[in-house]
Copies of this chain bind each other. A is one copy, B any other.
């Protein structure tokens, strides 16, 4: 019994659960915006980074709901997964998961690459080639999920984290996004052609927080980026946690 208690103590030490009792909602993957029943507008997000964040938060003890666009990834273990296709569906599912009768989730991480635009009027039947030449696609702006979840008030999560994927001037655009969306942190990454970030297993990010200098993280696996982000989130909710585990 003493040995079991000691083993239990060290097992707990090996896998601390600083986010136990916290509820987190993570969005991940692309959205698909229909043009007609067979065609759609998509983006290159694989969902790997968002899914890894969901897994990492769950590993630290959080109760995680993952709102996932169309991806080919396995569901992360120990995570509730809600599957959606369009940005409108992702917003509805995110609001339902964040704003519960029991109060808002503690943490929202918007890692999905939500389409900025949908096709204004999706066709009910397949659009055919015709004598008038190619059609023109009129687009309409999609709802902004990150800005919506960041709106101040009693239904706002205490910590709202967004992701910014840019092909140039990454820090400039990310700082502007942080200011404009009203979220607390932005994880900014460079997805320019040749970086291999989209669909790849590695990521090189900057973490931008309100009222703090941007942190440049080294190139890491998406799993390691997620674990570091989850730990930073845990530290925010309980600043003593890291100090204690370091002291041990």
Contacts and interface: CB of A to CB of B under 8 A. Distances in A.
Interface of A: 32, 35, 37-44, 72, 113, 115-117, 120, 125-126, 128-129, 133-141, 165-168, 173, 191-193, 198
A113 B38 contact: yes
A178 B152 CA distance: 60
Given A135-B139, A136-B137, A191 B37 contact: yes
Contacts of A168: 125
A208 to B, nearest CB: 18
A167 B125 CA distance: 6
Nearest to A169: B125
Report how many copies the assembly holds: 2
Nearest to A113: B38
A38 B165 contact: yes
A136 B135 contact: no
B134 A166 contact: no
Contact of A126 (B41, B120, B138, B167): B167
| Dominant SS among interface residues on chain A | loop
A191 B32 CA distance: 18
A136 B136 contact: yes
A39 B118 CA distance: 12
A125 to B, nearest CB: 5
Contacts of A136: 136-139
Contact of A37 (B38, B128, B193): B193
A132 to B, nearest CB: 11
B38 A41 contact: no
A165 to B, nearest CB: 7
A116 to B, nearest CB: 5
A41 B30 CA distance: 13
Contact of A137 (B38, B128, B139, B140): B139
A41 B44 contact: no
26 contacts: A32-B42, A37-B167, A37-B192, A38-B167, A38-B191, A39-B43, A40-B43, A40-B44, A41-B41, A42-B42, A72-B72, A116-B129, A116-B134, A117-B134, A126-B165, A126-B166, A126-B167, A126-B191, A128-B173, A133-B141, A134-B139, A134-B141, A135-B139, A136-B137, A137-B137, A137-B139
